[in-house]
């Protein structure tokens, strides 16, 4: 009897009417083989003067010639310094403390320079409160070597000298001085005491000067609310490590909310210690990084968020508010309120709703709670823009009231929603000057372009938070003929002093109070001991009554259509670094999609509108286009169906759709600023399906764990505290002679164990509780290890080269635990409870509100590595220090290792990615190659590569210790990722040093190895995720 068993090669085949299966059935190869192209035309072949014989001659000759030529080595020149600077020793890195402050990202950092070239940004561990370097800050070093930078001052597109530039502008300013028309300075938020003073002096000299501070992504409402309440224009500072209950309504505080930098405090509270960890409840519409990390995530439309906040106010503080929420939501809000109240001063509430009432209510609730996490003393200074001023400026420009506009650090033609009006206004202005690094949208239409230096070439000072200062110092001589805004201001102010002396004077007289400037410069940070507290609580009289604010908030939220929430992506921010290939190729932590922005939409809405996502035969993701319009402004945007997106809402990221000052390949996505009307990130939008499909470069196709709880171990705090470790974090058992034996038992080992007890033995611990998925490590790894950028097309072919990726998984049930139960309870192959249908079902994430988990994944450096045994040329081998070595020069590119790796962390160089015009990213020009780390080989075509545990760094540490004749202390060993992780999620070290942190983590009861049952004995360990699910 013939069996009716059906074999299937992929789940795709099981789907009825799958187009892929059909296509594949008819074709042997996925792509057309172009034989016709070169053999089809017989006439052409006959007409050719090159006979077959000639062809062979040429081939023979050129082969011989090439062989002979290859025998001769090239002559390599070495050019030493004429006078070697005494701080530079070739081959030894120097570190300088400085501050990144580009108007959007602010961070105290250390910059590693080699032979005078900055090559990497690292965290400044001396900085107490300031933000750790995020992915964009880590990537900013590449911006220094951008080949499209403006190389000198320009007038109407022609290069001029600085003298001409200064003379021209001084003359024009002189004629405008004290006149009817204003001189406007339109700048980013500098948060710089010295710049503020310079601008004040400029105002005094010229009289009719207006200074407009403009943040591309505005925090104006929060600033207003804070100013009204605390009499100071700044943002409320929160330290989440001090909170046991965190409620957030629409605040994506793990990324860029209020300038970012809250994640390290948050992570501290998330690691269970003494049976406690913080509880985090998130109400939001888009699936954000913050929501993904929350213990409880409630999808809510922006309109509902306002009502929820008002209700929360009434439940916590009292009073009644209008507005209705569905019963279940109302209960959730009530529960959150009771949890907050219970937590008392350990609770904290934050919101991202850009509405002065919402922000006032939040400040009021935190005050009512007496929240310890809320710190009104150290006000955040890194956002100061006022949207009212900007709106007024645009109308004044068009009314001809502005004589001169001088812009620095802003790109309003790109970032303003009404950029056409602004452009028109610029034409009516006599003098337009743009301080810019690139010929971007704004500077390319300005009369004068003042070439600005990169942050790493500049002097400066920043007051990040009140009383917490940072100094900026150049880490390289300006590469081009550039002058910074402040230098030119000094010229206009007719002050002969240099800008760094100016800073020094100001700091010595006003900030340092007797401490050494050089010390502050060395440290890069300075904390004022007793900053005069609160310039004024004087404005109490004008304070908005919170009750009234809550009522206003709750009313008038009837929403007809779909609500759009605009947000900034972890990789791209406000878009000023759009020409940075590292960031373009950085996969978004949530969607895992690079090289694009897109409309995130819920499955239900997508279904209604007929929008789809589908995988094509090569395994790449395609998505429908949608036409969206906000008050008449229309955009055609590709769509990604986002699990967890609140129904009736969509999301779209800023920072894409740039049109000037960047390479063709980087012109990706659409410009969401066009929809940012009235600087309100929430807009009502009309959506309809558009024509065609968009090709995405998505690096992760498997969205769920399919119930394999082994990969991400997680448990709840309750279980963690009460049950035995064996219950929630068991060591896998395998069958040995039909007896279940622990996989850690030496008897089940195929291999003899190598004694690694002497010397160093490196281990890396990744704490899934502390990891927020921010991706700083991914970029740090790029910078440290010369990882190439391959471009969108190659990423679509799954040829991305990231040595370190952060896998993101959704649960297909309400929780991952649910997934496991569901899979285990499947019975038989077919039928309703059969494994086939169950698995098919589990493929897609829970649409409404899945749980999310992040898992940084790099080479696991297995002690019994499957890759090593299959390499025919022994190119990959193991060291006694626990690192899995990869000798590139030995590799012949069979790719057996990648196929045999259970973790899929090996990367193959399909092409030569450096000095290849096909891959015109940073490694294709001399300037871009300056960022390359000289201690790491640039890989060539046809070799395999992978994470090396930053062996160049561990070796450096060992070599230095040997040279200095000392033992190595714990903490000295670092990898790029562990050093970049400000959240303490990654700990690297020597497990043979029993006192080391990593050795203790190895004994932690949360510790598990990935796919331990395979018996690979990895040197990377994970700390199981614990969720605080219990409602208090």
889 binds another protein (CB under 8 A): yes
Residue 722 CB, nearest distance to another protein (Å)? 42
764 vs 846 by CB, closer to another protein: 764
1 binds another protein (CB under 8 A): no
456 vs 951 by CB, closer to another protein: 951
Residue 80 CB, nearest distance to another protein (Å)? 4
92 vs 497 by CB, closer to another protein: 92
> Quick one: which H or E segment has residue 997?
helix 997-1002
| One-character DSSP codes across 401-427 | -EEEEEEES--HHHH-TTHHHHHHHHH
How far, in Å, CA of 747 to CA of 744, rounded? 8
80 vs 514 by CB, closer to another protein: 80
Binding mask 533-562 for another protein (x = CB under 8 A): ------------------------------
Residue 112 CB, nearest distance to another protein (Å)? 15
Q: Give 790-793's long-range contacts (Cβ < 8 A, gap of 24+).
A: 790/585, 790/910, 790/911, 790/913, 790/919, 791/585, 791/595, 791/665, 791/919, 791/921, 792/594, 792/595, 792/596, 792/665, 792/668, 792/695, 792/697, 793/697
Residue 925 has, within 13 A of its CA and on its CB side, a CA count of 11
Residue 987 CB, nearest distance to another protein (Å)? 22
78 vs 509 by CB, closer to another protein: 78
Strands 599-601 and 633-641: parallel
How far, in Å, CA of 253 to CA of 333, rounded? 19
- The whole-angstrom distance between residue 107's C-alpha and the CA centroid of its chain comes to 14
Q: Which stretch binds another protein (CB under 8 A): 48-56, 790-798, 815-823, 886-894?
A: 886-894
Q: Which stretch binds another protein (CB under 8 A): 75-83, 458-466, 614-622, 1015-1023?
A: 75-83
DSSP at 535: S
Binding mask 864-883 for another protein (x = CB under 8 A): -----------x-x-xxx-x
Inter-residue contact 701 to 621 (CB < 8 Å): yes
Residue 1010 CB, nearest distance to another protein (Å)? 22
Strands 431-436 and 448-451: parallel
Question: Among residue numbers 752 through 781, which ones bind another protein (CB under 8 A)?
Answer: 757-759
66 binds another protein (CB under 8 A): no
Residue 880 CB, nearest distance to another protein (Å)? 5
Residue 850 CB, nearest distance to another protein (Å)? 40
Binding mask 920-939 for another protein (x = CB under 8 A): ---------------xxxx-
**Residue of the chain from 16, 17, 29, 91 that contacts another protein (CB under 8 A):** 91
Residues 6+ apart with CB under 8 A from 924: 914, 915, 916, 917
**Residue of the chain from 11, 39, 59, 89 that contacts another protein (CB under 8 A):** 89
**Residue of the chain from 55, 61, 81, 754 that contacts another protein (CB under 8 A):** 81
Residue 947 CB, nearest distance to another protein (Å)? 11
Residue 726 CB, nearest distance to another protein (Å)? 34
546 vs 999 by CB, closer to another protein: 999
**Residue of the chain from 84, 741, 825, 1013 that contacts another protein (CB under 8 A):** 84
Residue 965 CB, nearest distance to another protein (Å)? 5
How far, in Å, CA of 33 to CA of 865, rounded? 38
794 vs 990 by CB, closer to another protein: 990
Residue 889 CB, nearest distance to another protein (Å)? 4
**Cα dist from 75 to 195, 846, 874, 925, 940, whole Å:** 51, 62, 32, 22, 21
Six-digit token string for 306: 């306002």
981 binds another protein (CB under 8 A): no
Residue 968 CB, nearest distance to another protein (Å)? 7
How far, in Å, CA of 535 to CA of 543, rounded? 16
Residue 704 CB, nearest distance to another protein (Å)? 36
Residue 539 CB, nearest distance to another protein (Å)? 59
Six-digit token string for 349: 């509430």
Inter-residue contact 411 to 442 (CB < 8 Å): yes
481 binds another protein (CB under 8 A): no
**Residue of the chain from 26, 78, 702, 735 that contacts another protein (CB under 8 A):** 78
Six-digit token string for 595: 């090289």
3-state secondary structure of 150: coil
Biggest distance spanned by C-alpha atoms of the chain: 101
Binding mask 937-976 for another protein (x = CB under 8 A): xx---------x--xx--x--xx-xxxxxxxx--------
Q: Which stretch binds another protein (CB under 8 A): 71-79, 190-198, 214-222, 628-636?
A: 71-79
**Residue of the chain from 886, 923, 930, 981 that contacts another protein (CB under 8 A):** 886
**Residue of the chain from 888, 896, 910, 911 that contacts another protein (CB under 8 A):** 888
How far, in Å, CA of 728 to CA of 720, rounded? 7
76 binds another protein (CB under 8 A): yes
Six-digit token string for 292: 């993904």
**Residue of the chain from 16, 34, 73, 632 that contacts another protein (CB under 8 A):** 73
916 binds another protein (CB under 8 A): no
Per-residue burial over 755-787, b = 16 or more CB atoms within 10 Å of its CB, e = otherwise: ebeeebbbbbbbbbbbbbbbbbbbbbbbbbbbb
Question: Among residue numbers 165 through 224, which ones bind another protein (CB under 8 A)?
Answer: none
Residue 78 CB, nearest distance to another protein (Å)? 4
Helix axes 499-506, 485-492, angle to 10 degrees: 90
| One-character DSSP codes across 277-346 | --EEEEEESS--HHHHH-SEEEE--HHHHHHHHHHHHHHHT---------HHHHHHHHHHHHHHHHHGGG
88 vs 731 by CB, closer to another protein: 88
Torsional sign, CA 669, 671, 676, 677? negative
Strands 402-408 and 182-187: parallel
How far, in Å, CA of 249 to CA of 257, rounded? 12
Number of residues that bind another protein (CB under 8 A): 49
**Residue of the chain from 1, 69, 71, 750 that contacts another protein (CB under 8 A):** 71
Residue 979 CB, nearest distance to another protein (Å)? 17
Per-residue burial over 943-980, b = 16 or more CB atoms within 10 Å of its CB, e = otherwise: bbbbbbbbbbbbebbbeeeeeeeeebeeebbbbbbbbb
287 vs 891 by CB, closer to another protein: 891
Give, rounded to a whole angstrom, the gap between the first and last alpha carbons of the chain.
62
42 vs 966 by CB, closer to another protein: 966
**Beta-sheet strands, E only, within 504-655:** 525-527, 562-567, 593-594, 599-601, 613-615, 621-630, 633-641, 649-653
Inter-residue contact 495 to 166 (CB < 8 Å): no
Residue 757 CB, nearest distance to another protein (Å)? 8
667 vs 956 by CB, closer to another protein: 956
Inter-residue contact 917 to 924 (CB < 8 Å): yes
4 vs 757 by CB, closer to another protein: 757
Residue 745 CB, nearest distance to another protein (Å)? 24
727 vs 751 by CB, closer to another protein: 751
388 vs 962 by CB, closer to another protein: 962
Q: Which residues bind another protein (CB under 8 A)?
A: 71, 73, 75-84, 89-92, 757-759, 875, 877, 879-881, 883, 885-890, 935-938, 948, 951-952, 955, 958-959, 961-968
């Amino acid at each position: 009897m013939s069996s009716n068993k059906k074999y299937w090669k992929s789940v795709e085949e099981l789907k009825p009417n799958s187009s892929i299966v059909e296509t594949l059935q008819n074709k042997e190869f996925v792509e057309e083989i172009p034989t016709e192209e070169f053999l089809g035309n017989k006439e052409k072949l006959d007409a050719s003067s090159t006979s077959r014989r000639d062809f062979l001659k040429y081939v023979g000759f050129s082969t011989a010639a090439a062989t002979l030529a290859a025998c001769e080595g090239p002559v390599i020149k070495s050019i030493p310094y004429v006078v070697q600077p005494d701080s530079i020793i070739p081959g030894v890195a120097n570190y300088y403390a400085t501050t990144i402050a580009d108007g959007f990202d602010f961070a105290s950092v250390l910059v590693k320079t080699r032979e005078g070239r900055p090559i990497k940004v690292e965290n400044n561990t001396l900085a107490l409160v300031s933000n750790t370097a995020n992915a964009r800050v880590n990537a900013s070093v590449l911006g220094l070597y951008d080949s499209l930078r403006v190389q000198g001052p320009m007038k109407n597109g022609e290069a001029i000298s600085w003298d001409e530039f200064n003379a021209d502008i001084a003359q024009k300013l002189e004629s405008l001085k004290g006149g009817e028309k204003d001189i406007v300075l339109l700048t980013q938020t500098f948060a710089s005491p010295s710049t503020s003073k310079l601008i004040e002096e400029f105002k005094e000299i010229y009289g009719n000067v207006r200074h407009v501070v403009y943040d591309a992504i505005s925090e104006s409402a929060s600033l207003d609310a804070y100013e009204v309440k605390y009499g100071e224009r700044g943002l409320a500072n929160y330290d989440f490590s001090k909170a046991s209950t965190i409620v957030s309504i629409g605040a994506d505080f793990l990324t860029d909310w209020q300038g970012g930098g809250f994640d390290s405090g948050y992570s501290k509270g998330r690691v269970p210690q003494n049976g406690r960890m913080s509880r985090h409840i998130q109400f939001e519409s888009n699936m954000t990084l913050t929501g993904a990390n929350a213990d409880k995530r409630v999808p809510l439309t922006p309109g509902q968020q306002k009502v929820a906040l008002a209700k929360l106010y009434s439940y916590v503080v009292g009073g009644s508010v209008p507005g209705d929420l569905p019963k279940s939501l109302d209960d959730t809000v009530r529960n959150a309120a009771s949890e907050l109240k219970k937590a008392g001063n350990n609770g904290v509430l934050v919101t991202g709703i850009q509405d002065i009432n919402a922000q006032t209510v939040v400040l009021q609730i935190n005050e009512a709670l007496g929240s310890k996490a809320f710190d009104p003393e150290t006000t955040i200074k890194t956002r100061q823009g006022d949207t009212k001023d900007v709106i007024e400026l645009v109308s004044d420009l068009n009314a001809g009231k502005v004589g001169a506009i001088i812009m620095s650090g802003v790109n309003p033609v790109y970032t303003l929603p009404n950029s056409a009006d602004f452009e028109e206004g610029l034409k009516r202005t006599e003098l337009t000057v743009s301080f810019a690094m690139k010929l971007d949208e704004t500077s390319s239409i300005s009369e004068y372009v003042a070439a600005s230096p990169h942050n790493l070439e500049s002097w400066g000072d920043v007051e990040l938070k009140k009383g917490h200062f940072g100094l900026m110092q150049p880490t390289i001589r300006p590469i081009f003929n550039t002058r910074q805004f402040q230098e030119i201001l000094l010229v206009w102010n007719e002050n002969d002093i240099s800008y760094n002396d100016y800073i020094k004077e100001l700091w010595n007289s006003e900030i340092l109070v007797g401490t050494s400037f050089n010390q502050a410069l060395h440290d890069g940070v300075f904390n004022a001991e007793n900053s005069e507290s609160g310039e004024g609580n004087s404005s109490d009289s004008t304070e908005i009554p919170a009750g009234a604010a809550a009522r206003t908030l709750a009313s008038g939220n009837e929403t007809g259509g779909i609500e759009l929430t605009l947000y900034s992506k972890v990789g791209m921010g406000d878009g000023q670094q759009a020409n940075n290939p590292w960031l373009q190729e950085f996969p978004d932590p949530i969607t895992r999609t690079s090289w694009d922005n897109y409309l995130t939409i819920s499955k239900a809405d997508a279904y209604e509108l007929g929008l789809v996502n589908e995988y094509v035969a090569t395994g790449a993701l395609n998505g429908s286009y949608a036409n969206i319009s906000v008050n008449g402004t229309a955009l055609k945007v590709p769509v990604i169906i986002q699990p967890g997106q609140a129904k009736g809402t969509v999301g779209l990221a800023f920072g894409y759709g740039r049109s000037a000052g960047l390479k063709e390949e980087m012109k990706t996505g659409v410009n969401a600023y066009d929809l940012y009307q009235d600087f309100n990130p929430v807009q009502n939008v009309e959506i309809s399906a558009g024509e065609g499909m968009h090709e995405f470069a998505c690096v992760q196709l498997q969205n769920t764990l399919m119930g394999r709880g082994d990969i991400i171990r997680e448990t709840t705090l309750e279980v963690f505290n009460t049950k035995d470790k064996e219950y929630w974090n068991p060591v896998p058992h395998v069958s040995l002679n039909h007896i279940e034996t622990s996989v850690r038992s030496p008897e089940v080992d195929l291999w003899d164990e190598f004694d690694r007890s002497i010397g160093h033995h490196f281990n890396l611990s990744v704490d899934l509780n502390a990891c927020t998925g921010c991706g700083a490590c991914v970029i740090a790894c790029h910078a440290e290890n010369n990882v190439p950028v391959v471009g969108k097309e190659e990423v679509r072919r799954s040829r991305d080269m990231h040595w370190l990726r952060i896998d993101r998984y959704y649960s297909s049930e309400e929780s991952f635990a649910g997934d496991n139960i569901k899979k285990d309870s499947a019975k038989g192959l077919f039928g309703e409870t059969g494994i086939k249908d169950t698995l098919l079902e589990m493929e897609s994430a829970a649409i409404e509100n899945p749980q999310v988990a992040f898992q940084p994944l790099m080479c696991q450096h297995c002690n019994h590595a499957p890759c090593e045994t299959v390499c025919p040329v022994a190119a990959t081998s193991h060291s006694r220090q626990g690192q899995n070595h990869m000798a590139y020069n030995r590799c012949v590119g069979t790719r057996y290792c990648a196929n045999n790796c259970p973790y899929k962390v090996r990367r193959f160089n399909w092409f030569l990615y450096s000095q290849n015009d096909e891959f015109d990213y940073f490694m294709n020009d001399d300037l871009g190659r300056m960022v390359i780390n000289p201690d790491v080989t640039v890989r060539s075509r046809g070799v395999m590569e992978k994470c090396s545990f930053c062996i160049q760094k561990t070796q450096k540490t060992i070599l230095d210790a040997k040279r200095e004749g000392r033992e190595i202390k714990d903490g000295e060993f670092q990898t790029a990722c562990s050093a970049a992780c400000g959240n303490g999620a990654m700990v690297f070290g020597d497990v043979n040093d029993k006192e080391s942190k990593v050795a203790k983590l190895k004994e932690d009861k949360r510790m598990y190895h990935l796919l331990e049952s395979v018996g690979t004995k990895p040197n990377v360990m994970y700390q199981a995720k614990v969720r605080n699910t219990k409602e208090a």
